[in-house]
Amino acid sequence: MFTYNTEVQLHHTDAAGVLFFSHQFTLAHDAYQSFMHHIGLPLNYFIDRAAYFLPIIHAKADYKSPLHVGQKLKIEVAVHHIGHTSFVLHYHLYTEKDQHCGEVETVHVSMDRKNLKKIDLPEELRNKLEFYLSSVD
C-alpha cells in the first residue's frame, strides 16, 4: 500500500467549507499522480515518452463523513485488481485521527497511443503494480 498525505484546501470546499463532492476525485487523482511517480512511472512519462497511456474508464466514490478546510488527510492507495488490459486502484481516505472518511475507485485501461486500441498492460507497469496488489478492501 502507498500512502499520500495532504490537506483539504479552501478551493476543495463549497460555501459551507465542506469538501465539494467532486473534489474527492481530485484528492484521489493527486494521490494517483504521487503513486505513479513513486513506482517510477511519473505521469509526464506517459505524456512525453510512453507508447501507451492509461485513461480512467470508470470511477466511483463513497463519502463516509464530511471533510473541512484545513483537515489533514491520509490517502492509502492500493491496487485492487490487475487484468489483461486494465487495473483497478482503491483509495481510502482517513482523517488525522484515523477516521475512515471516504473511498474512491478508478479503473484504468492501457491504450496504444497511435491507434487508440486497448493493449495488454506493459510488463514494466504490471510488475510495478503487482507489488501494491491488495487482497483486502
Q: Into which CATH architecture does domain 2-130 fall?
A: Roll (3.10)
For 112-125, the pLDDT digits (tens) are: 999 999 999 999 99
CB atoms within 10 A of CB 2: 19
Domain assignments of the chain as residue spans, ordered by start? 2-130
pLDDT tens for the 137 residues of the chain, in order: 999 999 999 999 999 889 999 999 999 999 999 999 999 999 998 888 889 999 999 999 999 999 999 999 999 999 999 999 999 999 999 999 999 999 999 999 999 999 999 999 999 999 999 999 986 54
Q: Select from 101, 65, 87, 100 the least CA-distant residue to 134.
A: 87
pTM: 0.92
Answer whether 75's CB lies under 8 Å from 31's CB. yes
Q: Select from 59, 128, 53 the least CA-distant residue to 90.
A: 59
* Measured CA distances, 78 to 7, 9, 43, 105, 118 (Å): 20, 24, 18, 10, 23
How many angstroms separate the CA atoms of 54 and 36, rounded? 11
